[in-house]
Every structure is written in C-alpha cells, then in structure tokens.
A = this chain, B = another copy of it.
Amino acid sequence: MAETGDEPGRAGGRAPCRPAPGEPKCPEVGVSVARAGEFGLIARVTARLATGHATLLGPGDDAAVVHAPDGRVVASTDVLVEGRHFRRDWASAVDIGHRAAAANLADVAAMGAAPTALLVALCMPPDLEAQWAEELADGLAAEAARVGAGVVGGDMSASPTLTIAVTALGDLGGQPPVTRSGARAGDVVALAGRLGYAAAGYTVLSRGFRTPKILVEAYRRPEVPYGAGPSAARFGATAMIDVSDGLLADLGHVATASRVGIDLLGNAFEVPEQMRDAAHALGVDPLAWVLGGGDDHALVATFPEDLPLPGGFRLIGHVVHGAGVTVDGRAYKGSGGWEHFR
C-alpha cells in the first residue's frame, strides 16, 4: 500500500515510480480502460488492494464475505460524479480515492460503528487511462486501511460519465446505533473534527488558486475523526451525524428527526488565521465555510449534559425545546448547506 506523500500520480508533482523489491509494479502508462479490458483491469486493480481485518473473502468471486461479529452490519452508499463531486484537474486519482472512501467511512462512523469494508462501483469513459483507475484504487484502499477496513469487492463499467459509487460496511461492537433522532432538550452538542477547511479549499480551487496548501489539501483528502464515532457511542451519545451538507444543514436534520431545536455557541467557531486570510483575499465570509461547508466530514453528536465528553469532542451548543438551528439564539443568515440537484 502506498503511503501518504509518495503515491504516483499525486497532483502537484508526479514522482517517478520506483518500486522496492516485493512492492507492486509501476502502473503501465498510456493504456486505456478499453484496451486493458474489463477482466484485465479488474485483475490490475485488485492486485493493488490490501485485505482488511474483517475480510473473510475478498474480490474475485460473485460476492465478498465480511465478518459481522456483532450480528448486525451497518451499511451506507455514497456516489461521486465527475464535475459535481470531483474534478480530475483539481485532485489526483489517489486523492479522489481518499475522498470517496472518506465520505462513506464517515457515514458508518457517524452511526457509532467501526468500518470493516468498502465495495466500489466504478463507471469510466473507455479512453480513461487504466492507471487512473489503479491509482483511484490505491487511494480508496489507503483511506480504508486507516481504519483497518479492506476494499472487498466492486464492479466496473464503461460510461460517458466518470462515476464512483462506494458502499461502506461497519460493525457496531455491541453498542446501539446512534441515529439522528435521539437528541433531547437539555443535551449538549459536541463536535469532533474540522469545519470549513474543505469548503475553503474548494473555493480556493474554484477561483483558480492552488494555495493555501492546508485548505486545498483538506479538500483533496478530508481528515475524518473516524474513531470519534465509536467513542461517542460508548460515551452515551443520544444522536450523531457526519457533517456532509454543512453543520447548520446537518444539525437541521438532527433537529427535525429528534423534534428539538439546537442552539449553537457563536464563540465556539473561531476562524483559523489561514482561513480568515484566504476568505479576506477572496471576498468571502469565512463563517459560511465553517457553518455551511460539508466536505471535512466532522462528526457532530449530542450527549446528556451530565456525562463527560469523549476525547476529541468539544462543546459547540445545546439542544433546546423548539425547532430549527440557531446561533446564540438567532437564525444565521448565510448559506446553510447545499442540495445536490441545484
């Protein structure tokens, strides 16, 4: 498995491939998906995948078999479409693999579960370089490996539109799933992970810039606090969600499902200096990134107020009687997230 920082095909500087003895061969350059053929490409991609701890039967058969020690399995599907969810000129195939995996693994973590496996359906224009698919698989596998999960199966097809549909499976470890609907008035709201970095990186890239690096990298490879999900479940979280549509929008889902209101502490959202500087240079309100941006996949959860918060979580607000999400008791006027068909 390639390590962060030395993948071939990393955007911003492609290092020559020099595998050590025993490592996978360098990808063949210039071979299209159509020329590699379906079975050839599947063989090339699966040769690059590592096995997760929970994998009982990996790629190569009609279906995979994954350990589900808890007697239940958590499952989530997310799809990324080129031009809407990613651009090949903004991020390398490895980066896009990381992002696609992270979006799904975060959904599993947000139930309080530990991810065990990924399955990937990949639709590719026939003239796409086979190497791109191989490097995407590297990114998917590397992100999954962060939580000990394996890429256990998938499917490939030709398509005019490059599309990546990922399904993540996970194990609850004996805890009840933490849904969106269990928040109660009096609970505290706590956050694990970062907000606004990926949204800021997206804006930076969309204006044609490549820096600040910390923002652009956050967009390319979200840093998801996966372990915070199962921790929250063990610490008695009453509700949890991963921030994929934006904090206000996603807490709005929790408020609606739980039939409560949520009031956030305005001073809990200090904008980091680099983000503030970038926002100033681009003429953007940085709080719109923090409260409305989703691609960092932070985890936000509600906890009974008398319990200690698990490590990695910090207090950002309170659950109240009522409906909707407010900041210091007032409606926030900026963008609260986005819908995918706009």
Contacts and interface: CB of A to CB of B under 8 A. Distances in A.
Interface of A: 33-34, 36-39, 41, 56-57, 60-81, 84-85, 106-108, 110-111, 113, 117, 119-123, 126, 152-161, 163, 165, 167-170, 172, 177, 179-181, 240-242, 257, 339-341
Please provide the 6 A-B residue pairs with the shortest distance between their CB atoms, ordered closest to farther. A165-B165, A63-B76, A68-B68, A79-B121, A161-B161, A121-B165
A77 B153 contact: yes
B165 A63 contact: no
Nearest to A70: B68
A85 B159 CA distance: 10
Given A67-B72, A77-B165, A155-B165, 12 more contacts: A37-B339, A61-B180, A62-B108, A63-B75, A63-B108, A63-B113, A65-B75, A65-B111, A66-B74, A79-B155, A84-B157, A156-B340
Contacts of A121: 77-79, 121, 165, 167
A163 B122 CA distance: 11
What is the copy number of this chain in the assembly? 2
A237 to B, nearest CB: 13
A279 B69 CA distance: 51
B72 A68 contact: yes
B153 A257 contact: no
A106 B36 CA distance: 27
Contacts of A74: 63-66
A127 to B, nearest CB: 11
